[in-house]
Amino acid sequence: MSQQEISAEHAISQLTNLVLALAYTQAADNPESAMQRIGAAVYACRNQGVGDYYPLEVFKKVFPGKNLPTIVD
């Protein structure tokens, strides 16, 4: 099966929907762990200088009204 070419916008949308589904699944099973891991992803993106828009949006959708957790190494 060959993959048709899609725009970057469509690819980002597809991946965002997939990541959200996985995040919701993890949060339903173990919310504390999911919050820590998604929060860590937000901080990792910030530390890498690539921005945090998508991981932060996932965090906000999965944990509405919650603050990012404090990550301790």
Any domain includes 70: no
Any domain includes 3: no
How many structural domains is the chain composed of? 1
Q: Could you list the pLDDT tens digit for every one of the 73 residues in the chain?
A: 667 899 999 999 999 999 999 999 999 999 999 999 999 999 999 999 999 999 999 999 999 999 999 876 6
pLDDT at 1: 60
Any domain includes 18: yes
Domain interval for residue 15: 8-62
pLDDT at 15: 93
Any domain includes 28: yes
Q: Does pTM top 0.75 for this prediction?
A: yes
Long-range Cβ contacts of 34-42 (<8 Å, 24+ apart): 34/62, 35/59, 35/63, 35/66, 35/69, 36/69, 36/71, 38/62, 38/63, 39/68, 39/69, 39/71, 40/71, 42/68
Any domain includes 2: no
pLDDT at 72: 65
